[in-house]
Each structure stands twice: as structure tokens, then as C-alpha cells.
Amino acid sequence: MLKRFIYGIVVLIVLTSPVWFFVLKNEVTAFQLKAQLRNVSLPDSSKVISSSSRVYNSGNGDGCDYQVIVLVEHFDHPSIIHSSYLELFQAIFNEELRIFQTNNSAEWLATLPSQPSQFSIKPYIGDAHLFTVSAALFPRKVSPDFRCW
């Protein structure tokens, strides 16, 4: 009985290994984006406190979407971190961003013209010195990753 169970596990691993390749590939893509957002050159009055990334399907197709959220502590004018992340996003994607201004001068929204995306910097509710930096990419490439179905 134990022998059949072990054979079953081995067969399951062999049959699903192509899917796990895409799962790992998508995780690496999300992790690289998170690492770039964490390692942005910020002024001395700022520091990254926390970050997280995820791979998911936002419901608009069979493609994997990537989202990274970084929490930044900043004690100066918000325009300083806005410019730091604007330069970073333009360097990562090698193109100009479309920037949208909101009623709140501390908020900042942008998208890439070439692909569905959303970048934002917003004050964290409850603490005026914390900002959430969010990057979401929606490449819409079909992937065998089970989280994207």
C-alpha cells in the first residue's frame, strides 16, 4: 500500500511539473518587481518598512497579474518620493508614464501607455508619515499557472 502511495506521488509530481515551472516563473517576476521597489533610491528622510507581492487573476482573462505593495515611511514633502518612484518606473519599463493628478497633492497615479498597468502612491490612512506605493501589471499572457485561471 505504501509503495502504491509513493508511486502515485511520484507520478503526480511528474505530471504537474510543467505547471510548477510557470508558477515559479511568475513568482520570480513578482519578486523581482518587489525587489526593485524596495531598492529604490530614497532620501535620508525615508525608508521602506514593509513590502509584499502577489500573483493573481483580476478576472479580465486567463493571464497572470502581478501586484506589489510597498510601505514607505517618509518625513518630507511627498513630491520627493513621487519623483523617486517615477524615475524608477520609467527606468524599469523604459518608457514615459501617463501621470494622473488627484485632488490630494500627496496622491499620485500613473499608467504605462504600452500595457495595462497601474502605479500609485497614497498616504497611509491613520499615519501622515506613511505612504503605500503600489504597482500592478496586467500583461494578459495566458499562463498554465493555476492561480491565473
Domain layout of the chain by residue ranges: 2-148
Tens-digit pLDDT profile for residues 38-78: 988 888 888 999 999 988 777 766 677 889 999 999 888 88
- CA 146 to chain centroid, in Å, comes to 18
CA distances from 127 to 22, 34, 46, 113, 114 (A): 39, 23, 14, 33, 35
Q: Measure the CA–CA gap between 116 and 59, rounded to whole angstroms.
A: 13
- CA 96 to chain centroid, in Å, comes to 19
* Angle at 83 (CA atoms; ends 66, 98), nearest 5 degrees: 60
Tens-digit pLDDT profile for residues 34-49: 999 898 888 888 899 9
Residue 79's Cβ-side half-sphere holds a number of Cα atoms within 13 Å equal to 2
pTM of the predicted structure, to 2 decimals: 0.78
